[in-house]
Amino acid sequence: MVVDAEPMSLLMEDMTMRTYDLSPLFRTTVGFDRMARMIDALASEQNNGYPPYNIEKLDEDSYQISMAVAGFSEDDLTIEVKENVLTISGRKEVDEKVEEERSYLYRGIAERAFERRFNLADHIKVEGAIMEHGLLHVKLSREVPEELKPRRIPIGGRKAKKLAAK
């Protein structure tokens, strides 16, 4: 069996490449430096997968983030929005005396502190959050102001000049 070496080397190159040069993209754009910072942050972020979460699109302008936070109460969780970044963090206060008395045969429930950040697009608002069956649900909606919605612009010409003159 003969294997073409070129495709195999391309696969190996793809697997080891970790940086992206987006400067050609930004040569023709203005005001997208926030996006460049966001892409850099995503590329450098170490994602350990804890706690697991889902992002759902409920309808055209509604979204929901559901996060598995078993073992955490509402008081252990913090939800903040600052500069289009939604941060959900959890920190469980551990009673050292109770922990010393426990003897685990197997410990699979982490209950460790976490912080998850979600970059929100412009005009995405956090509506609220609820806890249900060990899941934290954060409701989001898109609220585009009227002045930013697309609108049709009439084209002026001879007819428009005649109408304006009347």
Domain positions in the chain are 1-45, 50-150
Per-residue pLDDT tens listing for the chain (166 residues) = 444 555 544 444 555 555 666 667 666 666 666 666 667 666 655 567 889 999 999 999 999 999 999 889 999 999 999 999 999 999 988 777 777 888 888 988 777 899 999 999 988 999 999 999 999 999 999 988 888 888 888 888 776 566 666 6
List phi, psi (to 5°) of 132. Answer: -155, 120
pLDDT score, position 1: 46
Q: How far apart are CA 154 and CA 133, in angstroms?
A: 54
DSSP per position, the chain:
----HHHHHHHHHHHH------HHHHTT-SS-HHHHHHHHHHHH------S-EEEEEEETTEEEEEEE-TT--GGGEEEEEETTEEEEEE-PPP-HHHHHH---S--------EEEEEEPPTTEEEEEEEEETTEEEEEEEE---GGGS----PPPSHHHHHHHH-
Threshold 0.85, pTM exceeds: no
User: 85: Cβ–Cβ under 8 A, 6 or more apart, which residues?
Assistant: 117, 118, 119, 120
pLDDT score, position 48: 72
The single residue listed with the structure tokens 């929100």 is: 120
pLDDT score, position 157: 73
C-alpha distances in angstroms, 51 versus 71, 127, 144?
11, 22, 31
pLDDT score, position 25: 66
User: 38: Cβ–Cβ under 8 A, 6 or more apart, which residues?
Assistant: 119
**Does the domain made of 50-150 have the CATH classification 1.10.3720.10?**
no
pLDDT score, position 131: 96
